Amino acid sequence: MRVLFVDDEPRVLEAIQRMLSDAAGAWEVITATSGEQALALLEDSRIDVIVTDIRMPGMDGATLLNKVHERWPSITRIVLSGHTDQEHAMRAMGSAHQFLSKPCNPKRLTDVVENAFYLSALTPNARVRELAAAVHRLPAMPKVHERILALIDGSRASVRDAADLVAQDPGLCAKILRIVNSAFFARGQLVRDVRTATARVGLDLLRALVLQERASCGLSGARVEQIQRDSLDAAAVTIRIVAPEHQRTAFTAALLCDVGTLVLEQGAPDEIAAVRAYATEGLVPIHVAEKELLGSSHADVGGYVLGLWGVPPVIVDAVLGHHDLGRDPSHLSAAVHVAHCIVAGDVVSPEAARRAGVESRLADIREAYLEEKHAA
Amino acid sequence: MVGLVASEAPAPLGAREGSTNSARPPPRDSLAAVAELEDQRRRLEKALADLKSTQARLLQAHKLEAIGQLAAGIAHEINTPTQYVTDNVEFLSRAFERLCQLVVASRELLESAKQGAPSSEVLARAEASLANARIDYILTEAPKALQQSVDGLHRVANIVAAMKDFSHPSGGEKAPCDLNEAIASTIIVATNEWKYVAEVETDLDPTLPLVRCLRDEVNQVILNLIVNGAHAIDAVVIGGSKGKGTIRIETTHDGGWAEIRVTDTGCGIPEKARDRVFDPFFTTKPVGKGTGQGLAIAYSVIVEKHRGEISFETELGRGTTFIVRLPVNVHEERFSTFCAPPRPLA
């Protein structure tokens, strides 16, 4: 594994090299003091992850990442910048997978790079990576979404500021209000204002919602709406499955489960149509058909993309494992799996029910969901 | 701000026209004419006072705007050393941990050597901790890591000191000021404004006497000249993609005058703009890059508040030199040499 660090201050590079010297066996650290030098190095050697400063004399980091994205799309692109202003953060968001701000503590930096390695190892399929990269080739995500992500990922995230941004996007407002007022989230009275809604949703979930929008950006139509609606339903059902302290995480994981499907829909629409036909004819589950025809399931694609975007590993693992219970032994992926089965009208296996801890409550949960749906 | 000046500036002009017109006819009733003149004089005075207070507010607004812009740049200048100091300290603490293990193993080895031949277990432990310590790497890198951490902390301390120095309010009172020091602080504070497009060179005359001035306002003038120079160079080198230019700052002591020259290797001032350089709101920069206040304020501070001079020499495609001259009061000089407060670190 090779990481390329780019910064115009050589002392930053030297210090990072020293800090990472313990990990030297596992990964090779290469450095460049300018965008031009970085491109020359990329021409000559295989690089897995690039971490770059934004403002540099000559070619700046945003331009560098755009070029890397065009020429070597499967390289993980991370920004490490000392600029705290939104303008710079925003400019980089478009082509970067993740945004870290200086000073970044050594553990976080190491974790982010290691996570990138972990993901690549997890999804060796080149096709998956191409599709994941394709997400960024679509028209840029709406400005408001970019700003929300930059805000949440920045060091001064506040609910108040986030709510002000949410208020600028009617679609997102509607979505958040729908979520907080759903039977599962509501605690008594209706929430009507965006600030309360945002506070109740919390920044983590807000981020997940924005990422879901990001994955479906450029897509519209009945299929996309169906996927988003089903995810939201499954998220709501998941809350009934898990203990209160896991509800937020479970909700987020269930909501993001089918992000991979959205990516496939836009990255390979013809192939995904063929997959659906194959699944219907052969009576095989979609994720099996995807694996057979594409080499990767939507769970793989979703997990990979979310991991690149810096979503916490516990959620990435749940997404990766939500069709393949052998893959992630956590209670969370079982819960998400069961919720998806209920929403899709599929049979829940006794093993899945046991792992999700709902053996005795399964029928009640299914009934509650169907009633809820009828009422809507 | 446009509104303020536009609405208040015409008043004295109108008043002046009125006064010349009414003064021309022969004074039939001289008492009435005198009263009218007196009235107009008062109105003029009031207009002038209003204009002065507007100008003061304008200066304050510009100063706040400049500080806001500087703050983002200063944050970046501080974040960078903080990043490498943090990483170096992380490395050093891990290296220290391994060295400690090595010391423990060495002590054990020494003890058992004293009692005869060390056992193979003790030898193996000592060898393992020696290998684990990667002692050669620590020996070459630790001194550099320490030195760079110290440098980084100095840099942060310098920036903070320069900031304090730069923004220390004069409260409208003139005080003896070391211009060389003011220039050095201003260069540090503005680093993020010039470093991507230019190198800054200084040639500061060590015999320059202290100059009695409004230090914060003079700092502001120097800042404006540096930022202007950087913008002019940026227009040529385009964000540093075509190399860097140079901003050269010199001070000289010329008889009764302290002279500051700020020279850039930028685009130069176009001929048709030269007459209007010091006009308020006049700018050739793109929207968002300049408000057209910088040089107008420089003029007001230097010429009106300090009875100094400001001028420029420019050549298209070669660059521009701004020359600021401030009068040195000999008496003040002697007085302040004895009574000057202790200076902060350069």
CB contact under 8 Å between B241 and A56, yes or no, is no
Residue among B251, B153, B265, B253 at smallest CA distance from B200: B265
CATH topology of domain A220-376: Hypothetical protein af1432 (1.10.3210)
Higher pLDDT, A36 or A97: A36
| CB-based contact, A55 to chain B, within 8 Å | yes
Task: Pick B75's closest partner by Cβ from A22, A80, A84.
Answer: A84
Residues of B in contact with A56 (CB under 8 A): 196
Distances, alpha carbon B136 to alpha carbons A198, B95, B127, B130, B143, in Å: 54, 11, 14, 10, 12
Question: What pLDDT is recorded for position B138?
Answer: 92
Residue carrying the six token digits 């710079």? A88
The string of pLDDT tens digits covering residues B185-198 is 999 999 988 998 99
Chain-chain contact of B94 with A22 (C-beta, under 8 angstroms): yes
Task: Report the share of chain B in percent with pLDDT over 70.
Answer: 82
How distant is the alpha carbon of residue A151 from its chain centre? Answer: 16
User: At what angle are helices A194-216 and A247-256 packed, to 10 degrees?
Assistant: 30
Q: Would you say A305 and A263 are in contact if contact means Cβ atoms under 8 Å apart?
A: yes
Query: Which residue does chain A place closest to B237, by CA atoms?
Result: A58
Cβ–Cβ below 8 Å for A57 and B76:
no
Distance from CA of B98 to the nearest CA of A (A): 11
Restricting to B residues 47-86, those with a Cβ less than 8 Å away from any Cβ of A are 72, 75-77, 79-86
pLDDT of B148 reads: 96
Size of interface A-B (CB pairs under 8 A): 83
Report d(CA A242, CA A331) in Å as an integer: 9
Q: What is the pLDDT of residue A267?
A: 76
Q: Which residues of A255-271 are buried (b: 16+ CB within 10 A; e: fewer)?
A: bbbbbbbbbbbbbbeee
Q: Given strand B245-254, what is the order of strands in its sheet?
A: B198-204, B245-254, B257-264, B319-327, B309-315
Distance CA A189, CA A256 (A): 27
CA distance B148 to chain A (A): 7
Q: Identify the weakest region by mean pLDDT among A92-101, A145-154, B266-275, B333-342.
A: B333-342
Structure tokens at B22: 């009414």
ipTM above 0.85, yes or no: no
One-letter amino acid of B205: D
Asked if B88 and A15 come within 8 Å (Cβ–Cβ), the reply is yes
Residues 222-261 of A with CB under 8 A from B: none
Indicate yes or no: CB of B87 within 8 angstroms of CB of A16.
yes
- What residue segments make up the domains of chain A, in order of their start? 2-122, 139-217, 220-376
pLDDT higher for B7 or A275?
A: A275
Which residues of A are less than 8 Å from B241 in CB distance?
A: 57-59
In chain B, positions 129-158, which contact chain A (CB-CB < 8 Å)? Answer: 134, 137, 141, 144-145, 148, 151-152
Q: At what angle do helices A259-267 and A298-308 cross, to 10 degrees?
A: 100
Q: Encode pLDDT of B125-138 as tens digits.
A: 888 888 877 888 99
Yes or no, beta carbons of B90 and A83 under 8 Å apart: no
pLDDT at A66: 87
The 8-class DSSP code of residue A191 comes to P
Q: Nearest CA to CA, how far is B155 from chain A (Å)? A: 13
The DSSP element (H or E) to which B123 belongs, if any, is helix B120-133
Most confident among A28-37, A215-224, A358-367, B279-288 (mean pLDDT): A28-37
Segment B106-132 shows an average pLDDT of 85
**Closest B-chain CA to A103:** B83
Name the residue in chain A with its Cα closest to that of B85.
A15
Binding-face residues of A in 149-168 toward B, CB within 8 A: none
Copy the structure tokens of residue B243.
């190399």
Q: What are the pLDDT digits (tens) for A69-128? A: 888 888 888 888 887 655 555 566 567 777 787 888 888 888 888 888 877 776 667 766
Q: At what angle do helices A259-267 and A269-282 cross, to 10 degrees?
A: 120
Whole-number pLDDT of residue A304: 85
Cα(A339)–Cα(A254) distance, rounded to whole angstroms?
Answer: 8
Q: Please judge whether B91 and A56 are an interchain contact, meaning their C-beta atoms are less than 8 angstroms apart.
A: no
Give B134's contacts in chain A (Cβ within 8 Å): 21
How many other C-beta atoms lie within 10 A of the C-beta of residue A194?
22
Q: Is the bond into B10 cis (omega within 30 degrees of 0)? A: no
The confidence band for B17, taking pLDDT boundaries of 50, 70 and 90, is very low
Domain A2-122 fold is: Rossmann fold (3.40.50)
A102 with B85: Cβ contact below 8 A: no
* Closest residue by Cα to residue B176 from B326, B19, B23: B326
- Say what the pLDDT of residue B185 is: 93
Average of per-residue pLDDT values in chain A: 81
Return the residue in A9, A37, A102 with the most chain B beta carbons within 10 A, the one to mutate for interface testing.
A102
- Kindly state the DSSP code that residue A54 receives in the 8-state scheme: S
Instruction: Give the residue among B301, B326, B325 at the shortest CA–CA distance from B312.
Output: B325
